[in-house]
Amino acid sequence: MTNEKQTQKKTYQFKAEVAKVLDIVINSLYTDREIFVRELVSNAADALEKRRHYDLINGRGPDSEESLEISIGVDKDKKTIVFTDNGIGMSRDELIENLGRVAHSGAADYLKKVAESNKKDVNLIGQFGVGFYSAFMVADTVTVESCSVDEPDQAWRWTSSGSSRYTVESTDKTRPGTDITLHLKKDAESFADESYIKETIKKYSNFVSFPIRINDERINTIQAIWARSQQDVKEEEYKEFFKFMTPFASDPLDWLHFSTDAPIDLKALLFISSDNPEIAGFGRLETNVHLYSRRVLIQRQAKDLLPLWLRFLSGAVDSEDIPLNISRETMQDSALIRKINRVLTKRILKHLKEMADKKPDQYKTFWENHGHFLKEGIVTEFSDRDALAELLRFESSMTEPGQLTSLAEYVERMPESQKEIYYLAGADRNAIESGPYIEVFRQRGIEVIYNFDPVDDFVMHHLAGYKDKKTVSADSEKLDLPDTLPKTNDDDEKETSKPAPDDVKALTDWIRSKLQDKVADVKASDRLVDSPMILVNPDGAMTGAMQRLMEAANKDFTMSAKRNLQFNPKHKIIQKLNQLRAEDQQKAVLILEQLYDHAALDAGLSVDTRPMVNRVTQIINSMLGD
């Protein structure tokens, strides 16, 4: 029997903090008012989610339940919008408890701040547990009719006009669920527009996993496919979803769809696009991964969800561990978000490794389009360096042109005595292979990785090593080269033509005195075969390629560390130069300076061309007998 007292209409006072919230919502917030749609839909979706759970634990399978859905009625003439759900519903006590007080203690303060700021961004309203009150931004009267699943033959009507009071009375609604009717304010009557509400739903709530109807038309055709199990989603659906949520017209290159329970509850669907607008020069990509909790959108383009270098991913991440009322401020430094970030990053790295191992062709396409993001990862993110190193690909002195090698393959080919991994920057294969630095490696049959991308030297430098092998630029002074080839007779023959040690020392001193402004040190060296001299990098100095990159990025960059000069005492030009310095000191200096400039060019350093041209002119003149 229904209690007589309870069926009568009763008037209640709002708790003080609700009155405060309502006052701000009604009198101070006029921007982004459309968010009431998202808030009421999200509440309805919550209620449906709870209903689903309730039905499950009460032994009602998915087949026996009526279809759970949200329907929105927009009436232009009556100036009303009605949100209906057949969710969990509310009892009389629950109406009073849930709609008569504010659960989040900071809500009123938050809204006050928003109201006082210029940028009245009310987007966070739902994240402070006051989403329901956003209805009063557009309505002067709000009626909530609700029937709890626990008391299916009793329904209640809650009504308020946003003043300090509300009323509750009995009503004769016949099925569990909630109808919320907004009687629009004069200045908000334009919201009673079907297509406008439709657009707003598409913007905020399209992936709510319950059907949403507006005036009986189903509008959210696309399901929350990330929340479904992998086996149930068709390839076409993935592609459709990808195109829906990204600006790309082409199919995705690949995707990763998984769910975990530990260490956190997570459902994620992450797409790798085929295109990379960033590489095509269309500015910087923004991360396009949205964060959901129970299919309700928490944050679009959630920046903290993934490291910046993974901004080429698009998709959805859904975690039930995230409270729906989390604020963006707390999200930024939330341990939970960091945990999700780690889990996602690890899974993606693993996925890419699998692609590289099992689908090398697809990986090559990936690498060509997105490889620079991984390189950025190595330079910016210490924690993933080892995993990222496995994903790097380069041409090398042992690959065919256009073919790529991994560091793992490189190491596998190394002779046992080799302790370092060598790399060398150059514009292309030809530039590297015709330069002087490769000589000693070619002679000894040691593989060198080719760095064609200007950032590659930075990457190798940051990497510092792979497994227990150091990564060393081939233009470094100190090379711990393995003796892979026995000395040949040929070497012995050359040995005899080498000037006496005394002479080498005198020559070294002379070169040093003439080039002291330009080089840090001068040494005779046996690493050269065809070239008379090279510039090498003392320990820790930037490679020529790195220096060029710095110069390009910063005009005032002047920190060019002096390099060491190594010359080949067996080289014909050096021997002639040695003779010449006794006969014609001036000419010898001219030639030495010219040789130095050649070495600087080979090292990729910028060379002042004016003195060089003058010098060449002098040399030509002297050759022509001037």
Q: Which residues bind Mg ion (CB under 5 A)?
A: 43, 131
The residue type found at 418 is Q
Q: Report, in Å, the least distance between residue 304 CB and ligand ADP.
A: 21
CA 173, chain centre distance (Å): 50
The amino acid at 33: R
CB of 148 vs ligand ADP, minimal distance in Å: 9
Hey, what are 344's tokens? Answer: 């996602």
- In angstroms, give the least distance from the CB of 118 to ligand ADP: 26
C-alpha closest to that of 204 among 194, 212, 193, 216: 212
Cβ atoms of residues 123 and 329 within 8 Å: no
Would you say 294 or 514 has its CB closer to ligand ADP?
A: 294
Name every residue whose Cβ is closer than 8 Å to that of residue 136 and which is 6 or more positions away in sequence.
22, 25, 26, 142, 162
Q: Tell me how far, at minimum, the Cβ of 128 lies from ligand ADP, in Å.
A: 7
- C-alpha 12, offset from chain centre: 51
Which CB, 162 or 436, lies closer to ligand ADP? 162
CA 39 remoteness from chain centre = 29
> Could you tell me the sign of the dihedral formed by the alpha carbons of 89, 94, 95, 100, in that order?
negative
| Binding partner at 377 among ligand ADP, Mg ion, none, C-beta below 5 to 8 Å by kind | none
Q: Report the alpha-carbon distance of residue 462 to residue 487 in Å, rounded.
A: 35
Q: How many CB atoms lie within 10 A of CB 584?
A: 13
- Based on CB atoms, which residue is closest to ligand ADP, 327 or 334? 327
Tell me how long the chain is: 626
- Residue where the block lists tokens 């001299």: 533
Residue 125 interaction partner, one of ligand ADP, Mg ion, none, beta carbon < 5-8 Å per kind: none
Residue 341: contacted member of ligand ADP, Mg ion, none (CB under 5 to 8 Å, by partner type): none
In the complex with Mg ion, which residue's Cβ is closer, 131 or 532?
A: 131
Name the binder of 566 from Mg ion, ligand ADP, none, CB < 5-8 A by kind.
none
Give residues with Cβ within 8 angstroms of 583, minimum separation 6.
Answer: none
Please say which residue, 294 or 372, places its beta carbon nearer to ligand ADP.
Answer: 294
Q: How far is the CB of 214 from ligand ADP (least distance, A)?
A: 16
When CB distances to Mg ion are compared, the closest residue is 131
Cα–Cα distances in angstroms (integers) from residue 309 to residues 304, 338, 357, 564, in the given order = 12, 15, 22, 36
User: Do 514 and 590 touch, CB atoms closer than 8 A?
Assistant: no
- Least distance in angstroms from the C-beta of 407 to Mg ion: 50
Q: Residue 29 or residue 407: which is nearer to ligand ADP going by CB?
A: 29
392 binds, among Mg ion, ligand ADP, none (CB under 5 to 8 A by kind): none
**Residue 22's closest CA among 190, 236, 149, 165?**
165
Among ligand ADP, Mg ion, none, what binds residue 302 when CB lies within 5 to 8 Å by partner kind?
A: none
Residue nearest to ligand ADP (CB): 131
User: Does residue 420 come out as left (phi exceeding 0), alpha (psi in the -120 to 50 range) or beta?
Assistant: beta
Comparing CB distances to Mg ion, the nearer of 294 and 370 is 294
* Strands laid side by side in the 266-272 sheet: 254-260, 266-272, 313-318, 288-293, 296-299
Point out which residues bind ligand ADP (CB under 6 A).
39, 43-44, 47, 85, 87-88, 90, 98-99, 129-132, 178, 324-325
Closest CB to ligand ADP among residues 150, 530: 150
Shortest distance, position 91 Cβ to ligand ADP, whole Å: 10
> What does 325 bind: Mg ion, ligand ADP, none (CB cut-off 5 to 8 Å by kind)?
ligand ADP
CB 317 within 8 A of CB 340: yes
CB of 289 to ligand ADP, least distance (A): 23
Whose Cβ is closer to ligand ADP: residue 44's or residue 270's? Answer: 44
SS3 string of 440-481? HHHHHCCCEEEECCCCHHHHHHHHCEECCEEEEECCECCCCC
Choose the contact partner of 47 out of ligand ADP, Mg ion, none; CB within 5 to 8 A by kind. Answer: ligand ADP
Least separation in angstroms between CB 85 and ligand ADP: 5
Least distance in angstroms from the C-beta of 25 to ligand ADP: 11
The site partner of 178 among ligand ADP, Mg ion, none (C-beta below 5 to 8 Å per kind) is ligand ADP
Q: Which is nearer to ligand ADP, 39 or 384 (CB)?
A: 39
